[in-house]
């Protein structure tokens, strides 16, 4: 992979470990010469990922809607900043620029970005790997919810398995490198789900 979009919070969370790990993700991606595409902020986990990559000489591209430039405090030290008009354009541009996606801890915005890209994959609109970096067990409840979606018949097992989950950035990247997208049926039927 040459580039990865990172979705994560514009807040730090209460546990300093989240910020430390986000910084390490940036360092790791830069060391592997994988460029980062992210939301463009200098605050929260977003800023930590960017700073970690920049510290190691990595390439970091921010994509930010004009109305968020002041709210999220745009990072002025990154390699490139792309300004778009809407949140939807932001997601499209981030997706267009990447070879894969990793979600770190975050709130509703991170979940919305993650689930949209997962839905696109389920519908066969892309074949890129999507991973959760499960820092400190943050995504354990989400994994349980997804497993329940399968159990209750709202999500197929093979689609659920397309979401890669790991607590180690190195192991997650290895999973992403060997990822093969599931075949998507032409019509989503009860049998396909």
Q: Is the pTM here over 0.85, yes or no? A: yes
> What is the DSSP annotation of 149-188?
HHHTTSS-HHHHTTEEEES-HHHHHHHHHT--PPP--SS-
Domain boundaries, the chain: 3-177
Pick the CATH number of 3-177 from 3.30.750.200, 3.30.420.40, 1.10.150.120, 3.40.50.450: 3.40.50.450
pLDDT at residue 190, rounded to an integer: 55
Using an 8 Å Cβ cutoff, are 36 and 4 in contact? Answer: yes
pLDDT at residue 69, rounded to an integer: 79
- How many CB atoms within 10 Å of residue 193? 15
Task: Give the pLDDT of the chain (193 residues) as one tens digit per residue.
Answer: 899 999 999 999 999 999 999 999 999 999 999 999 999 999 999 999 999 999 999 999 999 998 887 665 889 999 999 999 999 999 999 999 999 999 999 999 999 999 999 999 998 899 999 999 999 999 999 999 999 999 999 999 989 999 999 999 999 999 999 999 877 655 555 554 4
- How many CB atoms within 10 Å of residue 113? 22
pLDDT at residue 67, rounded to an integer: 86
Using an 8 Å Cβ cutoff, are 65 and 91 in contact? Answer: no
């Amino acid at each position: 992979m040459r580039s990865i979009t990172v979705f994560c919070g514009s807040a730090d969370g209460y546990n300093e470990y989240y910020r430390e790990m986000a910084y390490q993700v940036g360092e790791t991606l830069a060391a592997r010469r994988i460029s980062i595409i992210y939301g463009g902020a200098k605050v929260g986990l977003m800023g930590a990922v960017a700073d970690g990559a920049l510290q190691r000489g990595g390439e970091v591209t921010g994509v930010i809607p004009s109305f968020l430039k002041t709210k999220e405090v745009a990072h002025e030290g990154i390699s490139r900043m792309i300004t778009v008009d809407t949140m939807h354009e932001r997601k499209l541009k981030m997706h267009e620029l990447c070879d894969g996606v990793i979600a770190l801890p975050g709130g509703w915005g991170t979940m919305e970005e993650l689930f949209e890209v997962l839905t696109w994959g389920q519908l066969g609109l892309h074949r890129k790997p999507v991973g959760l970096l499960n820092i400190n067990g943050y995504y354990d409840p989400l994994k349980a919810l997804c497993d329940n979606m399968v159990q209750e018949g709202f999500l197929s097992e093979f689609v659920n398995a397309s979401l890669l989950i790991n607590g180690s950035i190195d192991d997650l990247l290895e999973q992403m490198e060997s990822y093969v997208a599931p075949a998507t049926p032409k019509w989503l039927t009860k049998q396909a789900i």
